[in-house]
């Protein structure tokens, strides 16, 4: 019998014993653990052996979420995350962390320590730039997304994947926090910056044409089982260094629209732009916009090439289909870039890039920019096909938000 035979939420001192007992480190290792989690949901520990310098990460799911004790979500999310990272390692080797093992009893997984990387959100808040990012993230998205669709997979095998990765509780969080509450505050959990209260009432709560488009987008999110998406691809789910990019934390993954992942990248680069703008760092802002352009245009280019290499469905080979399919993905990308921009600006889960802008006027300006750019993306989504289209909307919003 072991005390790890029954689930309990570990505290830091439990973790070294857990790592030894499960055989990830030798019995004579001199281990110390530190909680390093920064997300809204889970507990993450770094465990280091002082004798050898070897280290691993242990991630455990709690029954209640860190962001709110009232929100309870199945600890099965940790299983989903571990299995998906193993699938993604196959499709995008070197672009996700390596998983060493997963424990269904403790809802904990043990993975590669990437402490030599920085969490991308914090690095961007320091206005650091990453020359490999656009190339790496576009490769990650093309390979993990396109290769899990009906275009590439045998259709019964794909349907098995849809079943295996059904993720109703985490999807419900997105359906509520991203695709409902920002437009009506129906659960009274929105966090509206007081200086923009009237602006939010008019532009979000009072805009019925916008509500109709959001309703369409929400039902697309719930019903378009297109690809195995990450489901929460923001810059807090990415580790970076100058020569490496690793995407982690896919616990919101399920079969959904590819544009959700791509749109999240666009929106989170705009949050970095907001932060740079407030600090007057024009060089950094130019990098964020150029990175949006490169990420989207490289995604397009690689998508069209990889499509030909991996297409198996006979009808999907019909001339003109892949270009049409890509155009629907870019349209969805604009829609979900818009919903991410809005929900992180007025919803319950916000981003530090914007909330830490010290000057209240500058923060209010950034938030208006996000909302105006988002509405452009959502209301005119079919017009956003190339990187330059997306950046032109940021520039328009930057003028209109003044």
Q: Which residue of 16, 39, 276, 387 would you call a contact of Mg ion, by CB under 5 A?
A: 39
Residue 177 engages ligand SR1 in binding (rule: CB under 6 A): yes
Determine the interface stretch with ligand SR1 among 15-23, 64-72, 145-153, 323-331 (rule: CB under 6 A): 64-72
Question: d(Cα 322, Cα 311) in Å, to the nearest integer?
Answer: 10
Place of tokens 């794909």: 158
Q: Which is nearer to ligand SR1, 260 or 287 (CB)?
A: 260
Q: Which residue of 16, 39, 182, 256 would you call a contact of ligand SR1, by CB under 6 A?
A: 39
Give the distance between the most distant pair of CA atoms in the chain.
Answer: 65
Residue 173 engages ligand SR1 in binding (rule: CB under 6 A): yes
Q: Which residue of 249, 274, 332, 353 would you call a contact of Mg ion, by CB under 5 A?
A: 249
Cα dihedral 168, 171, 175, 176, rounded to 10, equals 80
Q: Which is nearer to Mg ion, 326 or 354 (CB)?
A: 354
Query: In the bound complex, what is the minimum distance in angstroms from residue 158's beta carbon to ligand SR1?
Result: 26
Query: In the bound complex, what is the minimum distance in angstroms from residue 131's beta carbon to Mg ion?
Result: 25
Residue 298 engages ligand SR1 in binding (rule: CB under 6 A): no
Residue 349 engages ligand SR1 in binding (rule: CB under 6 A): yes
Q: Which is nearer to Mg ion, 68 or 318 (CB)?
A: 68
Question: d(Cα 284, Cα 273) in Å, to the nearest integer?
Answer: 7
Question: d(Cα 60, Cα 151) in Å, to the nearest integer?
Answer: 35
DSSP state of 255: E
Question: d(Cα 105, Cα 102) in Å, to the nearest integer?
Answer: 9
Q: Which residue of 50, 67, 69, 400 would you call a contact of ligand SR1, by CB under 6 A?
A: 67
Q: What is the DSSP string of 266-293?
A: HHHHHHHHHHHHHTT-HHHHHHHHHHHH
Q: Which is nearer to ligand SR1, 188 or 402 (CB)?
A: 188
Residue 276 engages ligand SR1 in binding (rule: CB under 6 A): no
Place of tokens 């509405």: 375
DSSP state of 180: T
Q: Which is nearer to Mg ion, 37 or 159 (CB)?
A: 37
Q: Which does 65 bind (CB under 5 to 8 A by kind): ligand SR1, Mg ion, none?
A: ligand SR1
Residue 65 engages ligand SR1 in binding (rule: CB under 6 A): yes
Q: Which residue of 29, 71, 222, 401 would you call a contact of ligand SR1, by CB under 6 A?
A: 71
DSSP state of 142: I
Determine the interface stretch with Mg ion among 37-45, 61-69, 142-150, 355-363 (rule: CB under 5 A): 37-45
Report angle CA 243, 236, 149 to the nearest 5 degrees. 80
Q: In this structure, what are the phi and psi dihedrals at residue 353, rounded to the nearest 5 degrees?
A: -50, -40
Q: In this structure, what are the phi and psi dihedrals at residue 253, rounded to the nearest 5 degrees?
A: -65, 145
Question: d(Cα 188, Cα 174) in Å, to the nearest integer?
Answer: 16
Q: Are the beta carbons of 214 and 375 closer than 8 angstroms? A: no
Query: In the bound complex, what is the minimum distance in angstroms from residue 349's beta carbon to ligand SR1?
Result: 4
Query: In the bound complex, what is the minimum distance in angstroms from residue 310's beta carbon to ligand SR1?
Result: 29
Helix, strand, or coil (residue 359): coil
Q: Which is nearer to ligand SR1, 312 or 356 (CB)?
A: 356
Question: d(Cα 345, Cα 353) in Å, to the nearest integer?
Answer: 11
Joined tokens for residue 322 = 């892949």
Q: Which does 316 bind (CB under 5 to 8 A by kind): Mg ion, ligand SR1, none?
A: none
Determine the interface stretch with Mg ion among 95-103, 141-149, 183-191, 245-253 (rule: CB under 5 A): 245-253
Query: In the bound complex, what is the minimum distance in angstroms from residue 148's beta carbon to Mg ion?
Result: 20
Place of tokens 């209010």: 364
Residue 16 engages ligand SR1 in binding (rule: CB under 6 A): no
Joined tokens for residue 339 = 């919903």
188: left (phi over 0), alpha (psi -120 to 50) or beta: left
Question: d(Cα 96, Cα 197) in Å, to the nearest integer?
Answer: 40
Q: Which residue of 7, 35, 40, 362 would you call a contact of ligand SR1, by CB under 6 A?
A: 40
Query: In the bound complex, what is the minimum distance in angstroms from residue 174's beta carbon to ligand SR1?
Result: 6
Determine the interface stretch with ligand SR1 among 5-13, 39-47, 276-284, 360-368 (rule: CB under 6 A): 39-47
Which residues would be at the binding site for Mg ion (CB under 5 A)?
Answer: 39, 249
Which residues would be at the binding site for ligand SR1 (CB under 6 A)?
Answer: 39-41, 65, 67, 71, 173-174, 177, 232, 349
């Amino acid at each position: 019998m072991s005390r790890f035979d029954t689930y309990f939420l570990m505290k830091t001192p439990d973790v070294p014993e857990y790592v030894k007992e499960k055989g990830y480190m030798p019995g004579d290792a001199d281990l110390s653990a530190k909680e390093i989690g920064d997300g809204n949901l889970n507990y993450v520990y770094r465990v280091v052996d002082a004798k050898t310098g070897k280290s691993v990460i242990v991630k455990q799911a709690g029954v209640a979420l860190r962001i709110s004790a009232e929100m309870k979500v199945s600890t099965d999310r940790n299983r989903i995350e571990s299995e998906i990272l193993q699938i993604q390692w196959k499709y995008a080797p070197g672009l996700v962390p390596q998983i060493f093992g997963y424990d269904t009893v403790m809802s904990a997984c043990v993975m590669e320590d990437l402490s030599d990387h920085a969490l991308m959100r914090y690095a961007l808040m320091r206005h650091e730039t990453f020359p490999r990012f656009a190339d790496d993230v576009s490769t990650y998205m093309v390979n993990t997304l396109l290769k899990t669709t009906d275009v590439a997979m045998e259709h019964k095998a794909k349907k098995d994947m849809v079943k295996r990765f059904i993720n109703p509780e985490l999807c419900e969080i997105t359906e509520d926090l991203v695709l409902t509450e920002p437009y009506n505050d129906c659960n009274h959990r929105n966090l509206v910056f007081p200086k923009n209260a009237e602006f939010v009432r008019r532009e979000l709560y009072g805009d019925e044409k916008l509500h109709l488009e959001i309703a369409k987008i929400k039902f697309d999110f719930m019903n378009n089982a297109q690809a195995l998406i990450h489901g929460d691809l923001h810059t807090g789910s990415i580790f970076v260094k100058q020569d490496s990019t690793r995407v982690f934390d896919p616990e919101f993954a399920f079969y959904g629209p590819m544009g959700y992942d791509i749109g999240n990248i666009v929106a989170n680069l705009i949050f970095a732009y907001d932060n740079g703008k407030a600090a007057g760092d024009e060089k950094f802002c130019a990098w964020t916009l150029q990175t949006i352009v490169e990420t989207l245009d490289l995604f397009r280019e690689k998508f069209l090439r990889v499509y030909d290499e991996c297409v198996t469905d006979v009808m999907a080979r019909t001339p003109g289909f892949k270009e049409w399919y890509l155009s629907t993905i870019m349209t969805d990308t604009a829609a979900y870039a818009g919903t991410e921009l809005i929900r992180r600006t007025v919803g319950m889960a916000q981003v530090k890039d914007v909330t830490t802008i010290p000057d209240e006027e500058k923060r209010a300006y950034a938030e208006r920019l996000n909302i105006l750019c988002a509405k452009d993306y959502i209301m005119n989504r079919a017009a956003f096909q190339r990187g330059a289209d997306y950046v032109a909307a940021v520039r328009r919003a930057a003028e209109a938000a003044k």
